[in-house]
Structure 1
């Protein structure tokens, strides 16, 4: 376990700006807006700001504000933040990010969860294939195996708490299912989606409505997941070579149900959006991050047994700009002790509404004492 500091050479930033400057813009259909994907008009404005006004060094200092470490588990290098809570008996909590974000997803809630009496020891790793961890793609279950070794072996916690959404949901669900003797409680912002394998006769009316919505969503918005799960390498060449292409792909998912004008807000602001994109760019991990979808798909196609529902207490928060699912859907997968429809926020709630998200985590985990 070695201390880690983000320190990117100026040559990398200069190369980035040159690539933005020399972009071959494809053009777009007249009055296309966002109907065909990321708006070129918006993207030109964003990347002009990125090239001329965004200050990477300022945000690099922000990334280095909290203790970071590198460790090796099962021959995989893991990058993580470890921030001790200031309360008298802080709870160890591992927070797992998703795609297309990074460990940076949680940076705004760090002081909110560590400074009060009801505090947490926060462990915020980069999933392998993302950020400053090794560029290898492994399944969500395998990530959970690594997290247990990180928490109980490297860091020495006998038991711990876990939270995650998006890809982090799959990791957190695996933790609860496979390691119920180590995990005290879990928290989710989603619990998975109907994939056509469920028996409609066992589904409530609300669940059937949810399934119909998800099916329509997959037809209109879900092509990216199929692409990641089948041909991630084909896309990786373009995104790893072009910062504008990388930004276009990530931004296209940033709305998470929000209107276009709220895309930056969904990531917590324009600078936060660009810092998240920068982590992918400077580490060259867009390809390996997308390959995680392939790793999960191969595990499923290979006949791995579905995770069993766990008895570990689970809290679920459904934010208004996430796909809305009923409590009975969540109860199919996790032991729901707390289910709340939130009044504000979306897919990246920890960035967009950090105080609300932090209050939700604290209220649930400390309600179990």
Structure 2
């Protein structure tokens, strides 16, 4: 298995000219006369300034120079060419750390935290940092066959870690990375020694024989919450669910994109691939809705102050340059049609040490008691600011939490 150095490429003059032409001649959809904020989706007043910024101000070469400060590689695993960043620490006590992102993000989600985690910022725990592009995301090759689901991603990413030479490591995940990381924690626990996530997913403590024996009080509280309500039993805001199913739009107005990407990703992909404006708008809605906004500001801005225009446009440009929006959305289809695999992942416990950090803008939240019944929860934190992309939004708080978790598992000798 050969690991080859890789450099983030420039955009060819022809491709850049095409992008500029499409942005310059953008056609915008008609809208209602009255401003309805974000209730119908991303509004023109939010999208158009970002399109103009992409056309007139954004410089890919600046972003490229930043990214090429780090060591990038390609390696072929299970027939797919996988891209990853590998930044080894100079600290003798460093822990191998796998950082996994989800959709509509890419490896650049972690650009602010690579060096602080590698170097043990502020005297905290240091890590050997590994950030892959998931297959079909960024600079990794897109899957060629059906069935490339969460478990298949987990297999490939685990093989990547052992190919680099890390027989033992820690995994962190957000969004899809949380699910892939959970699969690795469950199925590759001989090598993955601890798991950290900002979006844990598990079932509540249902009255199964195992739960009734191990967590009887947690089961009783959950049963009580069915009639009394989650807020009454667990406290206001301690349980936020994404509807009752994958695409339950009646109970989760955010679920529409999951319904489309989980059932008809091909059709959607034509618009997102051919139109950079459509691509930007589709991504912007999530970067707006899933981030933390100070009280009263959500409806009046496109992005929170914690994410710069250039940071967002770099994420968009990576998708556009690599033509991976279509392949990234197919993960929703594969997961939605992998009923047994997803059910097993949700039902099976995580036995290795697990850390959870909740940020208030995260799209879901589960009661701490649910996590304790389903995972070996040794670290739990509730942060006062930040959202679905905490390493972008509140990078210093994110680094501090990861370092505290790392220090804990090192002190407890969960990993040598």
**Alignment TM-score > 0.5, same fold:** yes
SS at match of 1:245: helix
1:10 is displaced (CA, Å) by: 2.4
Structure 1, 101-110 or 305-314: larger mean CA deviation:
305-314
Q: Deviations over 1:62-99 (max 9, x none)?
A: 11110000000111111000001121221100000010
Q: Does 1:325 align with 2:366?
A: yes
Structure 1, 292-301 or 102-111: larger mean CA deviation:
292-301
1:198 is displaced (CA, Å) by: 9.4
Q: Does 1:48 align with 2:76?
A: no
Q: Cα gap change, 1:148/1:214 in structure 2, threshold over 3 Å: closer, same or farther?
A: closer
Query: Aligned pairs, how many?
Result: 367
Contact 2:349 2:374 in 1 (8 A): yes
Within 1, Cα distance between the matches of 2:159 and 2:29?
47
Contact 1:103 1:131 in 2 (8 A): yes
The correspondence for 2:313, drawn from 274, 282, 296, is 274
In structure 2, what is the equivalent of residue 119 of structure 1? 126
Within 1, Cα distance between the matches of 2:175 and 2:305?
15
Q: Cα gap change, 1:304/1:223 in structure 2, threshold over 3 Å: closer, same or farther?
A: same
In structure 2, what is the equivalent of residue 214 of structure 1? 242
1:297 is displaced (CA, Å) by: 1.4
SS at match of 1:340: strand
1:155 is displaced (CA, Å) by: 0.8
The correspondence for 1:141, drawn from 121, 145, 151, is 151
Q: Which runs of 5+ in 2 are unaligned?
A: 209-218, 232-237, 244-248, 412-416
In structure 2, what is the equivalent of residue 337 of structure 1? 378
Contact 1:254 1:266 in 2 (8 A): no
Q: Does 1:128 align with 2:135?
A: yes
In structure 2, what is the equivalent of residue 33 of structure 1? 37
Within 2, Cα distance between the matches of 1:38 and 1:274?
16
Structure 1, 22-31 or 274-283: larger mean CA deviation:
22-31
Q: Deviations over 1:235-269 (max 9, x none)?
A: 00000000000011000111215414454237721
TM-score, normalising length: structure 1 = 0.93
1:202 is displaced (CA, Å) by: 6.9
Within 1, Cα distance between the matches of 2:229 and 2:302?
28
TM-score, normalising length: structure 2 = 0.83
1:355 is displaced (CA, Å) by: 0.8
1:157 is displaced (CA, Å) by: 1.2
Within 2, Cα distance between the matches of 1:366 and 1:63?
28
1:32 is displaced (CA, Å) by: 2.8
Q: Cα gap change, 1:217/1:141 in structure 2, threshold over 3 Å: closer, same or farther?
A: farther
Q: Cα gap change, 1:193/1:269 in structure 2, threshold over 3 Å: closer, same or farther?
A: farther
1:310 is displaced (CA, Å) by: 2.1
Contact 2:46 2:301 in 1 (8 A): no
In structure 2, what is the equivalent of residue 309 of structure 1? 349
The correspondence for 1:179, drawn from 172, 188, 191, is 188
Please tell me the root mean square deviation across aligned C-alpha atoms, in Å.
Answer: 2.4
In structure 1, what is the equivalent of residue 5 of structure 2? 3
Within 2, Cα distance between the matches of 1:219 and 1:325?
16
Within 1, Cα distance between the matches of 2:299 and 2:48?
15
Within 1, Cα distance between the matches of 2:355 and 2:300?
31
Q: Cα gap change, 1:317/1:285 in structure 2, threshold over 3 Å: closer, same or farther?
A: same
Structure 1, 80-89 or 110-119: larger mean CA deviation:
110-119
Q: Does 1:237 align with 2:270?
A: yes
Q: Deviations over 1:243-299 (max 9, x none)?
A: 000011000111215414454237721110000001100000001000001111121
1:306 is displaced (CA, Å) by: 3.7
Q: Cα gap change, 1:91/1:212 in structure 2, threshold over 3 Å: closer, same or farther?
A: closer
Contact 2:240 2:366 in 1 (8 A): no
Structure 1, 165-174 or 34-43: larger mean CA deviation:
34-43
Contact 1:20 1:243 in 2 (8 A): yes
SS at match of 1:253: helix
1:217 is displaced (CA, Å) by: 8.0
Rg (Cα) greater in structure: 2
| Mapping 1:9-158, distance limit 5 Å | 9-30=12-33, 31-116=35-120, 118-136=125-143, 138-152=148-162, 154-158=163-167
Structure 1, 164-173 or 207-216: larger mean CA deviation:
207-216
In structure 1, what is the equivalent of residue 304 of structure 2? 265
Contact 1:207 1:325 in 2 (8 A): no
Contact 2:74 2:84 in 1 (8 A): yes
Contact 1:267 1:348 in 2 (8 A): no
Contact 1:193 1:214 in 2 (8 A): no
In structure 1, what is the equivalent of residue 414 of structure 2? none
